[in-house]
Amino acid sequence: EIVLTQSPATLSLSPGESATLSCRASQSVTSSSLAWFQQKPGQAPRLLIYAAFSRASGIPKRFSGSASGTDLTLTISRLELEDFAVYYCQHYDSSQITFGQGTRVDIK
């Protein structure tokens, strides 16, 4: 089973700043199997990035994803108020889906 470890647990930033969220897999993974979700209180997770790099439909360009080896990164440039939320990385394979424990992006 692939374990995903996200860091940091909480990120406190101000609107306009950039956010860098990290996710490390316990073993080598293919980029096509990696995704990022955003979740706000009382809402379902919203797909931001799939296949490590591809923005989902309707997702602003300030969200970008990258991957190298076992490391996955979500970058949010110029945070807006609506971006303060919890973010999850996710790995998919045919027999299971695993999620990181989440990174909370708080307003500083």
**Which residues form the interface with other proteins (CB under 8 A)?**
32, 35, 37, 44-45, 47, 50-51, 54, 56-57, 88, 90, 92, 94-102
| Cβ closest to other proteins, residue 13 vs residue 56 | 56
Q: In angstroms, give the least distance from the CB of 47 to other proteins.
A: 6
Q: In angstroms, give the least distance from the CB of 15 to other proteins.
A: 25
What three-state secondary structure class fits 60?
coil
| Cβ closest to other proteins, residue 84 vs residue 90 | 90
What are 21's strand-pairing partners? Answer: 74
Q: Which two tokens stand for residue 6?
A: 């996200």
| Cβ closest to other proteins, residue 31 vs residue 73 | 31
Q: Vertex 38, ends 69 and 29: CA angle to 5°?
A: 20
User: What's at 40, amino acid-wise?
Assistant: K
Q: Which residue do the tokens 């919203």 mark? A: 46
